[in-house]
Amino acid sequence: MMGKNESTNNLENNMTRNIIRTAGALAVALGAVTLLATRGGASAATMLPAPAFDDALATTKGGSMAVFSGGCFWGVQAVFQHVKGVTSAVSGYAGGEVSTANYDRVSDGNTGHAESVRVTFDTSEVTYGQLLKIFFSVAHDPTQLNFQGPDHGTQYRSEIWYTTPQQKTIAESYIAQLTKSKAFSAPIVTKLEPLSNFFPAEAYHQDYFTQHPNQPYIVYNDAPKVAALKKMMPELWRDPPVLVGMAK
């Protein structure tokens, strides 16, 4: 069991990292004249076509899972929590080992993990391809290599963790489709790997967007993503969001 001093030190380290993250967002806001030219932070989302190759909606209710990494998991989680058909969206870590799957270690950027969101969805209400469209268009910028907005490091990389061969095929097809159509002005750098593990993040990271709506980082970086989903894809919008806390 963790001793009191060690527990206190970890809590202080996590608080410090969150302060740094917020300070980074404020710095981005001050430099908005140059940074709003990119899609990191509060800049506009990109209207994308639907995947040309996708599953059809199931005729009966069924559960499936998808895992996405696209920068800070606070905003990615918030976006998917507002998607119709999503039954759960959990922030966590993918790509590394269980022994280092904690915020303090992952934030060092050398554990192999990426901040990720595990999305469970009803295949009769939303398809995997529709989730990919949301991931690429409003949840993050797939052209930013190992960073998103003010957050830098491999733990903030763009990555799709497929759970079935069909998911891999749909994701590869969509990336090729977006690349061919030059949907973005820069190359897509999103990695594609099979999911080997997923470790839920600490409780204080879950539902962070909902619990801290006025935090500067959330206001500047994440609120525009959620707003863009509602505006651009009203047919997939759900309100209220499905929260991790609702399952407890």
Which residues are known to be catalytic? Answer: 72
Question: Rounded to 5 degrees, what angle do the CA atoms 109, 78, 122 make?
Answer: 110
Q: Looking up tokens 């998607």, which residue turns up? A: 83
CA 98 – CA 134 distance, rounded (Å): 29
Residues 120, 58: Cα–Cα separation, whole Å:
15
The token duo for 91 is 């922030």
Q: How many CB atoms lie within 10 A of CB 89?
A: 27
Distance CA 31, CA 82 (A): 30
d(CA 100, CA 9): 16
Quick one: which of 156, 171, 170, 243 has its CA closest to 207? Answer: 243
